[in-house]
Amino acid sequence: MTTTLRPTGPEEDTPGGGRARGFELRVNGRRVGELRLATEPRAGVGRVERLTVDAADRRRGRGTVAALAAEEVLRDWGCAAVEVAVDAEAPAAAALAGTLGYRERSRNMVKPLVERPPALPSGSTTRAMTDEEYPAWRAGDRDEVVHSLTTRAVPEAVAVAAADRAHATRLPDGPATKDAWLRVLAHDGLDVGTLWVATAAGLPADLGADHWVFAVAVAEEHRGRGHGRSLMGEAERLVGAAGGRVLGLNVYADNTPALRLYESLGYRTVRHHLYKPLR
């Protein structure tokens, strides 16, 4: 039995210098599924955008063969790693990825805003970030993003570009950016944390969120005192006041304290982001 990939068309150029191509998965010349691969506009990273096997041909190892073939294509394209997003409601796909050596890097979580969050605890207040505070916050957030990504096998140049792109596109006017909120949390007169929340424009619509927490941070010396919960409550208040209905976020899979916090607040996982080195 011979399994092959047949291109469905020529290679496509993607924004930022990437490439993409669709394929049919065939067994002895018969179509049994489809595959689409792409490279991110960042060096060395490939992505499985779609992998489906027709219902009549499932549970026969077709998905495994297709995934391995996809990895070979991406190696030929010069990729050092591959990424794939798996919906939380697709346990079979997650199990296949685990069998093939994929590891979870992060997950998307969402929460419908059905109730107003509790008030801030005594001694805590929030305020808008000032223009004078913004440069230092931006530099710190950039450093945090770069550190978080590089410790999870993302090349430094890729991590730096991702952080800079996020600030340039989502906060073009700093604290004055429309439909974005930058807040500072103080407790007993000391600044203890910051929050960045905005509309979810540009993020996949099927995640179901209309607003997104892009960054929440508590100073190391003030952690473990409930300030992260206070910041998340502030995010819900801001979004609710703006007419938002569902708030989403991305959390790294190995950040156990953050995962526990979000789960305790009613967030549920909707998508897992997995990766695998190819070299």
Residue 204 has pLDDT above 70, yes or no: yes
149 or 238: whose pLDDT is higher? 238
Across 129-230, where does the E strand assignment appear? 180-187, 190-199, 211-218
pLDDT of residue 158: 80
- Residue 185, helix vs strand vs coil: strand
Span 209-216, average pLDDT: 98
pLDDT of residue 115: 84
Residue 277 has pLDDT above 70, yes or no: yes
Span 95-105, average pLDDT: 93
Q: Confidence band (pLDDT; 50, 70, 90) for 42?
A: low
pLDDT of residue 73: 95
Residue 213 has pLDDT above 90, yes or no: yes
Phi first, then psi: what are they for 239, rounded to 5°? -70, -40
Question: 219: which 2 tokens?
Answer: 């100073």
- pTM given for the model: 0.91
Span 57-61, average pLDDT: 88
- Give the chain's domains with CATH numbers: 3-79 (3.40.630), 110-270 (3.40.630.30)
* Contact call for residues 89 and 210 (beta carbons, < 8 A): no
Q: Which residues, 6+ apart, have CB-to-CB distance to 275 below 8 Å?
A: 81, 82, 83, 84, 102, 103, 105, 153
Span 164-186, average pLDDT: 96
Q: Confidence band (pLDDT; 50, 70, 90) for 8?
A: very high
Mean pLDDT computed over every residue of the chain: 93
Which of 43-52, 198-207, 223-232, 264-273 has the weakest average pLDDT?
43-52
Residue 16 has pLDDT above 80, yes or no: no
pLDDT of residue 59: 86
Residue 43 has pLDDT above 60, yes or no: no
Nearest to 132 by CA among 187, 193, 188, 174: 174
Q: Confidence band (pLDDT; 50, 70, 90) for 1?
A: low
Question: Tokens 């924004």 correspond to what residue?
Answer: 15
